Amino acid sequence: MYVRALLAQAGIRNEESSPGEDYGAVDLTIHLTSAAVTAQVKTGIKRRNRDSTYSVTLKPEWCAKWEGQKVPVYLVFVALSRRNYCDLVTQKDFSTTLYAHAYWLQVNDAQPGTVRVPVKNRLSLDTFQCWDEDVEHAFTRGAA
């Protein structure tokens, strides 16, 4: 919900994979200006590591599916700020607050095991412009 709320705020079309359908090991298809990218979204209540990262475990089958992709694939970790799920969202007359924050990492070349998602990669509206530039780079790599 958090990631899709940011995408809606940015006006970016996206599609969520149906529950139980993990073909390609992705949860979202995000239609950027240049091309669509995909993202695997993981959510949790974890403490940040001392090196300002969050640890996320990657399954071998995910990595195998991401490796063959020609466009960037992203892992998004949504850190929940409240332990009680009922307290994660508050609604007032003119606003809704989600008590979460998210971070990302490109995972096309990731290896199975634990990856560290840096907090400097905070998911924000500006992130989608960076991702669009990553797509452009993927298509122009090696071009004269």
pLDDT per residue over 107-121, tens digit each?
A: 999 999 999 999 999
Q: What is the pLDDT of residue 97?
A: 78
Among 33, 27, 32, residue whose Cα is nearest residue 1: 27
pLDDT band at 68 (very low <50, low <70, confident <90, very high): confident
Average pLDDT score over the chain: 88
Residues in Cβ contact with 107 at an 8 Å cutoff, skipping those fewer than 6 apart: 40, 58, 62, 63, 66, 73, 74, 75, 115
Residue-wise pLDDT tens digits, 41-67? 998 888 899 999 999 999 999 999 999
User: What mean pLDDT do residues 133-138 have?
Assistant: 92
Residue 124, domain CATH: 3.40.1350
**Would you state the pLDDT for residue 22?**
61
How many separate domains does the chain show?
1
Q: How far is CA 104 from CA 43, 62, 141, in A?
A: 12, 16, 22
Domain that holds residue 13: 2-140
Contact between residue 123 and residue 57 where contact means Cβ atoms under 8 Å apart:
no
